[in-house]
Structure 1
């Protein structure tokens, strides 16, 4: 799942994850507060949550903080997917217990490779944890 207020970025991520052979169920939302409410209401949690930083209402850091301080959600793997390369943003993400921080590449092919690599890594990490 991706939470990003930029609909075009959500569609690009969806397109990148529709790459043949990835076999990924992808959802996105433009509203962090709406997603948090759905989680609190018992919605199925995603296997992996990606957050943009700069969003109205609640930014990615605020969403991450709520998730990591809510006992029912704190084990949800959450990463930041942002255009920001600022060291203070990267540090803030890890201080809030983000599992990873990815800087979005400019070219679509790089974005696709990045997301497919992330998905492959995460699947292998999950399998290793349950083996």
Structure 2
């Protein structure tokens, strides 16, 4: 484990297909307490290519944390989560599910697949911003993350 305050920055992978949500998350994290580098991919297929360093992502940096939507094109978030947690090279990366789904079966499935937490996106803009700030405060400043 490493004290996050000693890191130059944290690598974050955002897997999200909603341009409005991407914009809001980028803005909140720019204002953040710690320096972070946010990479964004917009579908599950692209997320797996990024994490496996395939194709145009061969020089990608493995993230310290992943923010993952469930409702994604091509490969859905549940399938992406399963692939991450079944891969010995990736399973240590904390995965935060950030999605609109409040369905109990989605919540149970995410935790069955070893999601580190499940957060439902609020519809209200101010509440959405508060949630993203809370994620940043907890996961990027309080939690101790494993070394890359």
TM-score tier after normalising by the smaller chain length: 0.7 to 0.9
Give yes or no for the alignment of 1:50 onto 2:67: yes
> Larger relative contact order (C-alpha < 8 A, sep ≥ 6)?
2
Equivalent position of 2:5 in the other structure = none
CA contact 2:32–2:136 (8 Å) conserved in 1: no
Equivalent position of 2:144 in the other structure = 126
The count of corresponding residues between Structure 1 and Structure 2 is: 129
In the TM superposition, residue 22 of structure 1 has moved relative to its aligned partner by 5.0
Pair 1:126–1:85, CA change in 2 (3 A)? same
CA RMSD of aligned residues (A): 1.9
Structure 1: which 5+ residue stretches go unaligned? none
Q: Which runs of 4+ in 1 moved over 3 A?
A: 20-24
Q: TM-score, normalised by structure 1?
A: 0.87
Structure 2: which 5+ residue stretches go unaligned? 1-12
Q: TM-score, normalised by structure 2?
A: 0.78
Give yes or no for the alignment of 1:81 onto 2:93: no
Q: Identify the structure with the greater strand proportion.
A: 2
In the alignment, the residues of structure 1 paired with residue 17 and residue 134 of structure 2 have an alpha-carbon distance, to the nearest angstrom, of 24
Equivalent position of 2:22 in the other structure = 10
